[in-house]
Structure 1
Amino acid sequence: MKKNKKVIFNGVFLVVVFALTIYGVFHGEDLESMMDAIRSADKRWLAPGLALVAFFIWGESIIIWYMMRSYGIKLKKRTCFLFSSVGFFFSCITPSASGGQPMQAYYMKKKNISIPVSAVILMIITITYKLVLVVIGIGVAVFGRGFLHQYLEGILPVFYLGLALNIFCVTFMTILVFHPLLARTFMVRGLKILEKLHILRRKDGRLKKLEDSMDTYRDTAAYLKTHSKVIANVIGITFVQRMAMFAVTWFVYRSFSLSGTGFWTVLFLQAVISVSVDMLPLPGGMGISETLFLTIFAPVFGTLLLPGMVLCRGLGYYGELLISALFTIVAQLTIGQEHDSKERESYE
């Protein structure tokens, strides 16, 4: 019952945010002219952009496959692609991308991968995923002062907030991993304070669950200390994966036969949006991503700003959502059914 309520809440929240985004972006705009501009875009440039979205999803599947092998677990790459698709689909439709990894762990369990192993792998993917954003964000903030003031003057507070939140998240997760006893002390004290303030109701099993979760961090620390080469390779793959997604915007830019702004400028402007919205509690950064795009890309796309935003978000978010949704269905029809069939055979 509680699970059903959560699903309903997430569904309603997604629809409301989507409706508000559509209204905020398109209200008062000339939609006919926008559609004419979109239809005129060169599809030969859009096709590679869509391919990069698929590559982005595939990149995580290679990380999962690679790390599973380091555990001695041999999986087919297509199975890992299904795990990756499930993660991206549920991340796209839940606030703060909170639903992706629990669903990945659920499907991994169906392939007889233990929760401790999947938890460590998904934890490392999360840390490296955000670490790449932090490195890019700090790089832009430190070395791109002219870039910041030329393109980001109007959204600097949002950018610095997003960067600070990502730094905090990576730092906090690193402390959890490498200093589990210190982390446990803070979390237990925090839990008691929340219960004392009646923000959380006192539950006997909550502390036990907290202690069990700390085992994941200890296992992650042990993995990181003994697989440094694997982690370095994962960071490299993640960097390429994220850059590929940022580059989608440049292909949209070129599809309108626009020129004058370099590839790396377009790429890092898109990266700035990701840094800014990644930690915000909105499905896929919906609403704020569109607003930031319309602000910082105005001098780049000019009169084609709105159709440019529609195509960039159409490929980068809705394209990702569609591709991952299709393969999530495949995952349910294969991994899910295969597991259910084995359970029935075992019962009989």
Structure 2
Amino acid sequence: MPTSQRKKISAKTFFNIFSIVLTVGCLSYFAFSENGLTTLAEHVHQFKIEWLIFAVLCMLSDLFLDTCLIYLFTKGISNSYTFRRAFKVCMVGHLYSAITPFQSGGQPMQIYVMTKQKIDAGNAASTLVQKFFVYQTSITAYSMFALIFQYGKEINLLSPIMVALTIFGFIVQGTAAGFLLVVSFNQKITNKLLVWATKFLSKIHLVKNYEKTLESWQVQLDSFHESNQYLYRNKSLLIKTYILTFFQLTSLFAVFYCIYRSFGFNKASPVSMIFSQAFVTMVSSLIPLPGAAGASELSSYVFMNPFFTPETVKPAVLLWRIITYPAVILISAPFSKIKSEM
């Protein structure tokens, strides 16, 4: 095996091991440090288990609504598409998003599974980009309202670094939404980007036949834009998917509020806590590690600290992390075996 290939493999292995160690280390810290999970055990008689069940149900609602969105988007290009197949694609997406940097492995694996389900690769990519466009614009709007609602409240209590990271995270999300808008509906600019990308990949020898590859990609791009035009014309589908995405984000952001109530607290506004969770997403999305290891725990601790007591904030972060990360991996993994047909 060439030396360069061995280096690539070892670097990837090191990265994966580092991510796992960091995740386990963070969970261990919140479990066993002062005022960690051991403190929670001392007050278990005060714990409201029904609210912890609601937290799990919120996480499951995120998975269910994501399946509904995949089904709705794909049903428009394949009348025979079933909810069961959409569920399969959802599970694969969540699993590979959780274990890859920047959640980058989710969509490629979903496209692969959809091709196994007899969906054309170009249509599959178009469907998932449309879904991502709705998600990205929705979370950008959510983040904007969070900044407006919480400005002068929690924002002013944060360190300048956390404020800067929060605002930068919002700018990144807004830029991504704007880029997707241009790519989705401006065919002239998209064609120029495609030509540039193909030339670049050809120069670095990742594309062997420039003309053939460009022609093939342009055919898929035309199909992609046709699908986007269908989405834009289908106002009913657009409205349904935005509503479902809003509920999906809200259910995921509400997990921490349910955990808050499970500790017996009830003074904080659910809206305020949900918007604070949006801040966590803004910051953690900047970290390239799988599951945003380290950043998720730290940002959750910072943004949720005002709502908890010093004795309960660490156990709360630990419970939130377990429900929204390892639990999702455990649920999605059994359903993620790749088969030729579902």
Q: Residues 70, 194 of structure 1: CA spacing in aligned structure 2 closer, same or farther, 3 A cutoff? A: closer
Q: CA deviation at 1:24?
A: 5.3
Contact 1:180 1:218 in 2 (8 A): yes
Q: CA deviation at 1:108?
A: 1.4
Q: Residues 61, 28 of structure 1: CA spacing in aligned structure 2 closer, same or farther, 3 A cutoff? A: closer
Matched with 2:91 is: 85
Matched with 2:191 is: 184
* Offset from partner CA, 1:291-325 (integer Å, 9 cap, x none): 11111222212221111110011111222222111
In the alignment, is residue 168 of structure 1 matched against residue 170 of structure 2?
A: no
Contact 2:30 2:314 in 1 (8 A): no
Moved more, 66-75 or 131-140: 66-75
- 3-state DSSP class of the match of 2:153? helix
* Offset from partner CA, 1:10-65 (integer Å, 9 cap, x none): 56423312312443565598448523344424322111111111110111111122
Matched with 1:15 is: 17
Q: Which runs of 5+ in 2 are unaligned?
A: none
- 3-state DSSP class of the match of 1:146? coil
Cα RMSD for the two superposed structures: 3.1
Identity value in percent: 23
Q: CA deviation at 1:269?
A: 0.7
Q: Residue 225 of structure 1 is aligned with which of 232, 242, 267?
A: 232
Moved more, 148-157 or 40-49: 148-157
Q: CA deviation at 1:73?
A: 2.1
In the alignment, is residue 205 of structure 1 matched against residue 213 of structure 2?
A: no
- 3-state DSSP class of the match of 2:267? coil
Contact 1:54 1:323 in 2 (8 A): no
- 3-state DSSP class of the match of 1:292? helix
Q: Residues 193, 110 of structure 1: CA spacing in aligned structure 2 closer, same or farther, 3 A cutoff? A: closer
Q: Residue 111 of structure 1 is aligned with which of 97, 114, 117?
A: 117
TM-score by length of 1: 0.84
Contact 2:107 2:128 in 1 (8 A): yes
Matched with 1:277 is: 284
Task: Output the CA distance in 1 between the equivalents of 2:78 and 2:37.
Answer: 51
Task: Output the CA distance in 1 between the equivalents of 2:323 and 2:6.
Answer: 31
TM-score by length of 2: 0.85
* Offset from partner CA, 1:158-181 (integer Å, 9 cap, x none): 111111111111111111111122
Contact 2:133 2:177 in 1 (8 A): yes
In the alignment, is residue 312 of structure 1 matched against residue 316 of structure 2?
A: no
Give the letter aligned to residue 324 of structure 2.
G
Contact 2:202 2:208 in 1 (8 A): no
* Offset from partner CA, 1:67-101 (integer Å, 9 cap, x none): 23222423332321121111111101011111111
Q: Residue 295 of structure 1 is aligned with which of 283, 297, 302?
A: 302
Task: Output the CA distance in 2 between the equivalents of 1:7 and 1:64.
Answer: 34
Q: Residues 316, 258 of structure 1: CA spacing in aligned structure 2 closer, same or farther, 3 A cutoff? A: same
Moved more, 245-254 or 104-113: 104-113
Moved more, 263-272 or 238-247: 263-272
Q: CA deviation at 1:264?
A: 1.2
Q: Residues 212, 338 of structure 1: CA spacing in aligned structure 2 closer, same or farther, 3 A cutoff? A: closer
Matched with 1:251 is: 258
Matched with 1:36 is: 38
Q: CA deviation at 1:187?
A: 4.6
In the alignment, is residue 157 of structure 1 matched against residue 175 of structure 2?
A: no
Contact 1:50 1:319 in 2 (8 A): no
Task: Output the CA distance in 2 between the equivalents of 1:4 and 1:184.
Answer: 37
Q: CA deviation at 1:237?
A: 0.3
* Offset from partner CA, 1:128-153 (integer Å, 9 cap, x none): 11111100111223343223434544
Matched with 2:330 is: 322
Q: Residues 6, 323 of structure 1: CA spacing in aligned structure 2 closer, same or farther, 3 A cutoff? A: farther
Contact 1:10 1:95 in 2 (8 A): no
Give the letter aligned to residue 268 of structure 2.
T
Moved more, 59-68 or 244-253: 59-68
- 3-state DSSP class of the match of 2:298? helix
Contact 2:99 2:291 in 1 (8 A): yes
Task: Output the CA distance in 2 between the equivalents of 1:216 and 1:5.
Answer: 39
Moved more, 180-189 or 270-279: 180-189
Contact 2:37 2:315 in 1 (8 A): yes
